[in-house]
Amino acid sequence: MKIVVIQGPNLNMLGVRAQNVYGPMKLEQIHANMESFAKQNGLEIEFFQSNLEGEIVDRVQECLGDADGIVINPAAYTHTSIAIRDAIEAVSIPTVEVHITNVARREEFRQKSMVSAVCAGTIVGFGPFSYHLGLIALNQILSEVKAMKESQAQQQAQQG
C-alpha cells in the first residue's frame, strides 16, 4: 500500500520557525520517523511539501490511481483552501489531516478547518507525533478497506 504525505506552506521551516509553538524537530526528521514506521509495516511512503496551493491541489489529484491513502497537513491553507478541500473530496482516497499544534487552542481564525469534513479523521496537538498517529490511523483504515474488499470478493466468488 502506498501513502503520500503532503505538507503545506512553511512546514519546510520546522525546527527554525517558532520553536516555542512547533518545536525543534525539522521536517526531515519527521519524515525519517514516518519512513521507519512505513518500512516496519510494509508500506510505501512518499513525501511532498509545497508553499503553493495549486501545487498541493495537483499533488492530491495525482494520488488518484497512484496512492491508497494520504496524510496531509495543509498548514495555513487548512483555514482558507476550498480548492484543497475539493481536491481531497474529488479523489475519494482515505485521507487523514494532521497538525502539530492543537488548533482549538490557537487563534480563532485557526480553529476552522476547510478540509476536516472530507477527511477520514483529524489528529491535532501531539507535536511531531501527530504525524506518527496519523500514519497509524491511516494504516488501520487501509487495512480495514482491504479486508472488506477481500470479504466482498469471497462472497461474490461463492455466489458466482
- Cite the active site residues: 22, 99
The torsion angle over the Cα atoms of residues 66, 36, 39 and 61, rounded to 10 degrees, is -10
H or E element in which residue 32 lies: helix 27-40
Cβ neighbours of 159 (radius 10 Å): 6
The count of C-alpha atoms lying within 13 angstroms of the C-alpha of 160, restricted to the half-sphere facing its C-beta, is 6
Task: Give the C-alpha separation, 139 to 15, whole Å.
Answer: 27
DSSP secondary structure code for residue 92 in this structure:
T
- Pick the closest to residue 99 from 133, 60, 125, 117 (CA basis): 125
DSSP secondary structure code for residue 96 in this structure:
E
